[in-house]
Structure 1
């Protein structure tokens, strides 16, 4: 059999919950009368860390494992993407840049050859006999001046 006994506190003033005999039996006593001071040294991180106790351990473990898996997936994806960018960049520098420079040089050479060909054709036209018939009354033995077509 269990014996219930009320134990009286010796130092009534030291505990914030201590009260007189009449307030112990009174139903109007509330916790608002008890002073609750927030610790001045408590930081925001300490308050967030205290919330860990609210979440059950199995849920905490599940959340932690999912977050760590997501972080490792992001890390691996970033590493692969970085390697791909590195390969493309170095390939462009080692292959595409010299190719572009050689194509530019080739285009310059083709333009110079075209210009030289036009100059040669122009010189041959100046030396060739005139395609225009000789004017009446002119001496064919005299060298004719080149005619300028209309519009020039």
Structure 2
């Protein structure tokens, strides 16, 4: 059960009618006096100050849980970023140390093969121009003693 008591003001300052809770006839009828007396200058207050003031609304246990989760999420993201960075470093370095020399060697080999084909074509063209027929000479003919062109191995 609730017990209601009337508390008398003990301080003389408030007893003289200067209490903010005093009920004058004038303050009861005039609401503009109380509104005008409030300092409504919020020009100095920034957005950050307003958001920081909202901290008191959230209970401390909830704030702690939120801070812990944000901290753990940040550390997971940091570790993941470091892992991805290391992986990219390994792949890039491996590609430069293995892939680039391999590509250069393959390109050189392709150039050599193209040069050999060109030389072979030139030799075949020279043989046709020198009076030989497209068919090989029969055995025992005079063309058999003529030196043959050098053909690189593998052709």
TM-score, length-scaled by structure 2: 0.67
Asked whether 1:121 is paired with 2:124, we answer yes
Number of aligned residues = 127
Question: Structure 1 130/117 Cα, relative in aligned 2: closer, same or farther at 3 Å?
Answer: closer
The structure where helix makes up a greater share of residues is: 2
1:89 Cα offset (Å): 0.8
1:8-58 CA distance string (max 9 Å, x none):
616656x7x35553367x598696465242354332212111110000011
Question: Structure 1 27/57 Cα, relative in aligned 2: closer, same or farther at 3 Å?
Answer: farther
User: Aligned partners of 2:15, 2:59: CA distance in 1, in Å?
Assistant: 40
Alignment of 1:1-152 (within 5 A): 4-7=7-10, 9=14, 12=17, 17=20, 19-22=22-25, 26=28, 32=35, 34-130=37-133
User: Aligned partners of 2:15, 2:127: CA distance in 1, in Å?
Assistant: 131
User: Aligned partners of 1:97, 1:58: CA distance in 2, in Å?
Assistant: 57
The aligned residue for residue 139 of structure 1 is none
1:112 Cα offset (Å): 0.3
1:103 Cα offset (Å): 0.4
User: Aligned partners of 1:75, 1:66: CA distance in 2, in Å?
Assistant: 14
Structure 1 gap ranges (5+): 132-152
Alignment root-mean-square deviation, CA:
2.9
User: Aligned partners of 1:55, 1:84: CA distance in 2, in Å?
Assistant: 41
Structure 2 gap ranges (5+): 135-155
